[in-house]
Every structure is written in C-alpha cells, then in structure tokens.
Structure 1
Amino acid sequence: MRPNVLARTLVGITAVAGLATGSLATAGTGFAASAPAPETVSAQSPSLLTTQNFGLTSAEAKNVQRWLAEYWNYTDGIDGQLGTNSWKAFQRCLKTYWGYTGAIDGDPGTNTIKALQRLLKDSYGYTGAIDGDAGSGTRAAFKRFAAS
C-alpha cells in the first residue's frame, strides 16, 4: 500500500504544480486582454485649445495683444494667450501687408506662419526660409517682435 500512497502523492503534487504554473503563465495575458480605457472629453473651451503663443511668454504675448488692440481691432482681453481672436486680428495685419491670402479664421496654420515669417524677415531678424514652420528661428524673431 505504501507505494500506492507515494504514487498518489507525487501525482497530486505534480497536478498542483502544473495548475500553479499554468495560472502564472496566463496571468500576464489576462491584463493584455483587458478593455481599453474610455476616452475622456475635454472640458476646455475651444479658444483655449487653439491658443498658440509660438514660444512667447505670457508677458510677451500681452505686448502683442496690446499692439493688436491698438492697430488691428483686437477687442478681447489682454490675457497673454494668443487664441483665435488674437490670431484673427494678426491675420488682418498679415493680409493687409504681408501676403496672407487665407481666411480670417484665427487658425495660425502654415499660410499664417508664412506671412508672419515675411513680416519677421523684413524687420525682426528672421533669416530662415518662408516655409510655414514655426521653428526656432521663427520663434526667436517673434520674441523680438513682441519686445519691440
């Protein structure tokens, strides 16, 4: 009888070890198959989502907004955030003097940046290409514009 007890004990231990190993092996895949996290909806207003200061500090952006208010019919607050209405006013300037041909929509996209680069090349030390990319050269010249 003893050999039978020993055999059953070994079979039992092997079964327990196999179950434990199988549980550990599938533990990682249980996490991989979990449901994706739900998307969150932003509670920010659209004007905050379109703010684009292109490297300007809040104080520098306020200088730009004061200039826009004085010359280009900017009527929103002087808050240091170049949002849709700031860019609409800037686009009016760029359309009048710097070859901007797009809509006055407040979106500082490629065409707006190209016209801004022409302004910055004329008087604020921008030496790069008129490519619509607000890279480091454009940002540095925009800072000089904001400080003037």
Structure 2
Amino acid sequence: MMETDVEKKALSLVERSPNVVVGSIGEDGFPNMKMMFNARFREGMSVFYFSTNTSSRRTAQFNKRPQAGLYFADEGKFNGLMLLGTMEVLHDQEFKDLIWHEGDEIYYPLGRTDPDYCVYRFTAQKGRYYDQLASTDFEVPLKQQMAQTGG
C-alpha cells in the first residue's frame, strides 16, 4: 500500500492534474507523446481509465505494443510524476459506460455506443516522482480503491 511521503505527494499530484501526457511507441520504435485529459476513473496510482477514439494513431500503437507511460506535472512547483506500465484498448460497453460523461457527444457524436469511442486502461508497474531537484523511484501496488476524478 502507498504509505511513503513520496507516494502520497505523487498521488496528490495525480489528483490535482487536469491533464496527463501519455506515451506510446510508434511504428518506427520511437516514443510518441500526447496530452490527454486526466483519467475519468482510477484505482489509486495503479490503474487509470481514459476515453479516446478507436480510430486514433495512439490506439493503433497500443494495440501493437502495450508498453506505455504517463507523465503528470505541476510546473509551478516543479513537481512531476512518471508512471510506466501497459495500456489496454477496451471496447466493452461496461467500460464505456463507466467513464462516459454528458457532453462527450462532442467527441463521440453517436454517444456511448459510437464505434469510434473506446477506453484505455493503463496499469502502472513503477513510478518516478520528481520534486524540485530530487527524484525517487518506487514500485506501484497492483490494486487500490477506485476513485472517480473530475471532468
């Protein structure tokens, strides 16, 4: 369980970040980054759920290579959190319903059953927290209580 001061600070950063940089591996083997809205639901710092387009480049990349990274930042405090793990692309309606919010029609005009609407599930394995000029590596627990985030 997350008990250390560093892990508590890292979780606080996750909770207050409106956006996250999501990293995937491209066809050419190079890293690709994309800014996304922070996760709609998460299980502590272990599992994160994001909504996205089935037709996106990132979805194709994760279907081929599930290795992924997330990066949360607070530029004003010069804090950052990198999480490394795997990303699954989910098409199950239960996951689509789980993270759907009114207003998502702007991205998915056909609603919750839009074929261009899917869910990413990121499962973290390890992390690195940056606090000013110091950094700390840690392992991520596999399961924690699920939390709904704003958005």
Q: Who wins on radius of gyration, i.e. which is larger?
A: 1
TM-score by length of 2: 0.20
Structure with more of its chain in helix, by fraction: 1
TM-score by length of 1: 0.20
Q: Which has the higher contact order (CA 8 A, sep 6+)?
A: 2
